[in-house]
Structure 1
Amino acid sequence: MSQAKTAVVLFAKHPSPGGVKTRLVPPLTPEQAAELYEAMLFDTLEWARSLTNLDLALAYTPEIQHGYFEPIAEDFTLLPQRGEDLGARMAAAFEDLFKAG
């Protein structure tokens, strides 16, 4: 983390077929939904990179997929998601960032 006092945290899932954008199936196939999700993820990462004077973090799941996220978000602080629901995961990510400074 830099000395910025502001951070943007993105939350992302690994784009595995059947694991993302399931409400789009049908009309899309699970593979198409995963491809769409991945494209949106890349667009969102690129958008975040355009922001200035802040730190970037990516809270990702599942933790075992760290190797997928590392090369696509090498300029982000990577945080494995913890918690049973979105609220708990958000709280854990902010706790992790505050601890990191």
Structure 2
Amino acid sequence: MTTLILIAKETIPGKVKTRLHPPLSLEQAATLAAHAISDTLAAVADLPATRRVLLFDGVVTPAGTEGWDVVHQVAGDLDERLATVFDEVEGPTILIGMDTPQVSALDLAPAFAWPDGVDAFFGPANDGGFWALGMANPRGDLIRGVPMSRHDTGRIQLERLLDAGLNVSMLPELTDVDTFDDALEVAEIAPHTAFAAAVTTFCDAALVRA
């Protein structure tokens, strides 16, 4: 009985994964972003979500999200966009991002069992943020006001949950793809993904040009 939310934006060159440029072109960076979304969708396809929500910034939704409920992101900072959707859903809910294409169903399995006594799930990212956030009883006020995209975002968000008296179960730490070094690391961790294949292709092309 878990709602799954994927937050994503349309993969338009110059609008997504711009920190991969250089060494990648803006078009290549957007291609990697698209593969990250498709790999994430494949990883969660068989999870027993009772509702699937695409929290989307853009016009053209990604392939593979047919049948998902599309909720467009509200204006404002990321904390407000996340808080708003957590205010609108009901029951156990887990939100993930598009920046961890190495994610597996096993990583998320605990949030679809929801053991007794667990109030929240938290998946830390290696950059100090988080890749997953779940609550048995979703509350936007526990997200609203948390400073996002900082080295201490994850710590502050986790403290919010704990200070509210929630029993938090931790999910594994994952590498969030921000830079090309991150992309290389993730491609090595998950070589079976379309993301990894694209990274290899771009690296091979760079060697040929060199």
Q: Which residue of 1 aligns with 2:66?
A: 74
| Residue 22, structure 1, aligned to residue 31, structure 2 | no
Give the AA of the match of 1:39. Answer: H
> How far has the Cα of 1:54 moved from its partner?
3.0
- CA RMSD, 1 decimal: 1.6
Structure 1 unaligned segments of length 5 or more: list them.
Answer: none
Whether the 8 Å CA contact 2:7–2:56 is kept in 1: the answer is: yes
Structure 2 unaligned segments of length 5 or more: list them.
Answer: 91-210
> How far has the Cα of 1:79 moved from its partner?
0.4
**Of Structure 1 and Structure 2, which has the larger fraction of its residues in helix?**
1
How many residue pairs end up in the alignment? 90
Q: Which residue of 1 aligns with 2:5?
A: 9
**1:45–1:83 distance in 2 versus 1, CA, 3 Å:** same
**1:70–1:20 distance in 2 versus 1, CA, 3 Å:** closer
Highest relative contact order (Cα 8 Å, sep 6+), 1 or 2? 1
Could you tell me which of 34, 39, 44 is aligned with 2:35?
39
Give the AA of the match of 1:21. Answer: K
- In 2, Cα distance between equivalents of 1:53 and 1:36: 26
| Residue 48, structure 1, aligned to residue 40, structure 2 | no
**1:16–1:53 distance in 2 versus 1, CA, 3 Å:** closer
- In 2, Cα distance between equivalents of 1:15 and 1:45: 15
Give the AA of the match of 1:36. Answer: L
Q: Which residue of 2 aligns with 1:92?
A: 84
Whether the 8 Å CA contact 1:70–1:78 is kept in 2: the answer is: no
> How far has the Cα of 1:55 moved from its partner?
1.7
**1:70–1:35 distance in 2 versus 1, CA, 3 Å:** closer
Deviation per CA, 1:1-29, whole angstroms, max 9, x where unpaired?
Answer: xxx3x211110000000001111000000
Deviation per CA, 1:49-87, whole angstroms, max 9, x where unpaired?
Answer: 22114321110003xx0xx21753112111000131111
- In 1, Cα distance between equivalents of 2:62 and 2:41: 12
| 1:72 counterpart SS class | coil
- In 2, Cα distance between equivalents of 1:53 and 1:37: 24
Give the AA of the match of 1:87. Answer: D
Identity of aligned residues (%): 34
- In 2, Cα distance between equivalents of 1:18 and 1:94: 29
**1:32–1:53 distance in 2 versus 1, CA, 3 Å:** closer
